[in-house]
């Protein structure tokens, strides 16, 4: 039986940050656009004859070029049907370029070496906002930051999108604007209100709810100048504690100050006893294995040297005792259910 004895000390941290890092301006955001098209020039790695929609699309394209051909007459495997997606930046202007992501929707084996044909990209309202065309890159890194080498049916056309229709946002003539906090929190909403009013020494901000702060433009400033100043005002911000778990890879991400409350639990052959104690005794004959961990006479017992109370220390302690990532994830989930961990637990 393995025993872990951890002694806890509560710690709360408040950070100073700028308003732009914790809140967005309502109405100023990206817009998702999407389109359907064909990728040509593939080396027999395109869709097969089972992808009927691809053959029909090829026939339709040829017909628009005055070439009359039925889908059943088409045997080419050098073409693939794809969906093209992108994010249209706020205040994008006609002629601006952006990257587009191309993803196969048929049974193509690879899009490597292909060229995306001209693709209208539409918004949720059905209107065309951009066009996309160009050579597809497979081996680089896509906009999401993930390597695409292991996903040859997804690629990127760098600077392949062109803005055709602008999304007008008239901020200059507005008297009021609103901030939307990225996380719902009453304390942070009030902190933004106080910081803005203190900066201008007048009542220009009102917290409407845990997410929304309404702003009134001062008479001597334009809305653009006002929002530029607002975004760089410092506030005392308490971030929301969160633990992110990737069950597939066994990855656990947690802030260093997330508190673990006293609890006793058993998971398999591991028994965890967490007690609240300011100055834990170090067993005679024990040895220090790092800055905060101590192994006692019984190698299955583990203590904290400083009495810290974080999830990080708990995970490190479990790793010292040889617990697998699957065991650690199960323990954290059980502690969250029991109320020992108050931070949000997100499994991806």
Same domain (yes/no): 35, 50: yes
Are residues 245 and 232 both part of a single domain?
no
Q: How far apart are CA 33 and CA 29, in angstroms?
A: 13
Q: Does residue 23 form part of some domain?
A: no
pLDDT bucket at 256, cuts 50 / 70 / 90:
low
Task: Kindly state the average pLDDT of the residues 157-163.
Answer: 95
Determine the average pLDDT of the residues in 278-301: 49
**Average pLDDT over every residue of 180-195:** 91
Per-residue pLDDT at 147 exceeds 60: no
Average pLDDT value over all residues in the chain = 80
- List, for residues 74-88, the tens digit of each pLDDT value: 778 889 999 999 999
Per the document, the length of the chain is 348
Per-residue pLDDT at 312: 77
| Residue 41 buriedness (CB in 10 A; 0-12 / 13-18 / 19+) | middle
Query: C-alpha distances in angstroms, 82 versus 70, 134, 146, 292?
Result: 21, 13, 19, 54
Q: Is 342 left (phi over 0), alpha (psi -120 to 50) or beta?
A: alpha
Percent of the chain with pLDDT over 90: 39
pTM over 0.85: no
Final residue in a domain of this structure, among 189, 216, 236: 236
For the cut 90, the answer to whether the pLDDT of residue 192 exceeds it is: yes
Q: Taking 90 as the threshold, does the pLDDT of residue 195 lie above it?
A: yes
Q: State residue 4's pLDDT score.
A: 39
Same domain for 137 and 251, yes or no, is no
Higher pLDDT, 1 or 316: 316
Give yes or no: residues 228 and 245 share one domain.
no
Contact by Cβ (8 Å): 93, 166: yes
β-bridge partners, 163: 130
- Kindly indicate the confidence band of residue 100, based on its pLDDT and cuts at 50, 70 and 90: very high
17-37: per-residue pLDDT in tens? 899 988 999 988 899 999 999
Run of H or E residues at 260: none
Residue range 221-230: mean pLDDT, rounded: 93
Name the domain boundary from 220, 236, 252.
Answer: 236
The answer on 204 and 142 residing in a single domain is: no
Position of tokens 């911000």? 237
Across the range 161-179, mean pLDDT stands at 91
Asked if residue 7 is part of any domain, the answer here is no
At 18 the three-state DSSP class reads strand
Both 110 and 48 in one domain: the answer is yes
Strand order in the sheet with 301-304: 263-267, 270-276, 2-8, 301-304, 293-295, 287-288
**pLDDT for 190 beyond 90:** yes
- Answer yes or no: is 333 within a domain: yes
Residue 174 located in a structural domain: yes
Within-domain flag for 17? no
Shared-domain flag, residues 227 and 268: no
* Statement to judge: residues 319 and 224 lie in one domain: no
- Average pLDDT score over residue span 228-240: 85
**Phi-psi sector, 347: left (phi>0), alpha (psi -120 to 50), beta:** beta
Q: 35 and 112 in one domain?
A: yes
In a domain, 5, yes or no: no
Q: 133 and 96: one domain?
A: yes
Q: What is the tens place of the pLDDT at every residue in 327-341?
A: 888 888 888 888 878
Query: Would you state the structure tokens that stand for residue 4, as one six-digit string?
Result: 């872990």
Q: Based on the domain organization, do 317 and 341 belong to the same domain?
A: yes
pLDDT at 280 over 70: no
Q: Could you give the number of structural domains in the chain?
A: 3
In a domain, 251, yes or no: yes
- Of the pLDDT bands very low, low, confident and very high (cuts 50, 70, 90), residue 12 is very low
Instruction: Tell me: do 67 and 153 sit in the same domain.
Output: yes
Q: In which domain, by residue range, is 124 found? A: 31-163
Is residue 58 a part of any domain in this protein?
yes
pLDDT value at 1 more than 80: no
pLDDT at 347: 76
Q: Last residue of a domain, which of 120, 148, 163?
A: 163
């Amino acid at each position: 039986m393995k025993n872990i004895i951890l002694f806890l000390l509560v710690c709360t941290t408040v950070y100073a940050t700028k308003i732009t890092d914790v809140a967005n301006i309502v109405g100023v955001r990206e817009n998702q656009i999407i389109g359907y098209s064909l990728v040509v020039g593939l080396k027999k790695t395109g869709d097969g004859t089972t992808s009927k929609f691809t053959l029909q699309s090829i026939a339709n394209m040829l017909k628009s070029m005055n070439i009359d051909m039925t889908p059943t007459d088409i045997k080419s495997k050098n073409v693939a049907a794809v969906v093209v997606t992108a994010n249209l930046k706020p205040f994008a202007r006609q002629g601006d370029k952006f990257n587009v992501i191309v993803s196969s929707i048929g049974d193509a084996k690879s899009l490597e070496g292909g060229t995306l044909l001209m693709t209208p990209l539409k918004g949720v309202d059905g209107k065309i906002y951009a066009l996309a065309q160009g050579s597809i890159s497979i081996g680089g890194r896509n906009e999401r930051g993930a390597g695409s080498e292991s996903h040859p049916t997804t690629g990127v056309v760098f600077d392949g999108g062109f803005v055709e229709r602008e999304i007008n946002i008239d901020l200059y003539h507005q008297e009021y604007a609103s901030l939307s906090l990225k996380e719902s929190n009453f304390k942070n909403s009030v902190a933004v209100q106080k910081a803005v009013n203190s900066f201008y020494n007048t009542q220009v901000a009102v917290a409407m709810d845990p997410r929304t702060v309404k702003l009134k433009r001062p008479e001597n400033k334009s809305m653009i100048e006002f929002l530029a100043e607002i975004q760089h005002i410092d506030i005392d911000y308490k971030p929301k504690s969160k633990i992110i778990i990737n069950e597939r890879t066994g990855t656990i991400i947690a802030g260093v100050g997330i508190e673990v409350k006293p609890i006793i639990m058993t998971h398999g052959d591991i028994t965890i006893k967490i007690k609240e104690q300011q100055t834990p005794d170090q067993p005679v004959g024990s040895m220090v294995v790092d800055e905060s961990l101590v192994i006692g006479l019984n190698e299955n017992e583990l203590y904290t040297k400083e009495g810290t109370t974080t999830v990080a220390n708990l995970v490190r302690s479990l790793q010292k005792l040889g617990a697998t990532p699957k065991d650690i994830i199960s323990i954290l989930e059980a502690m969250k259910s029991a109320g020992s961990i108050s931070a949000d637990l997100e499994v991806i």
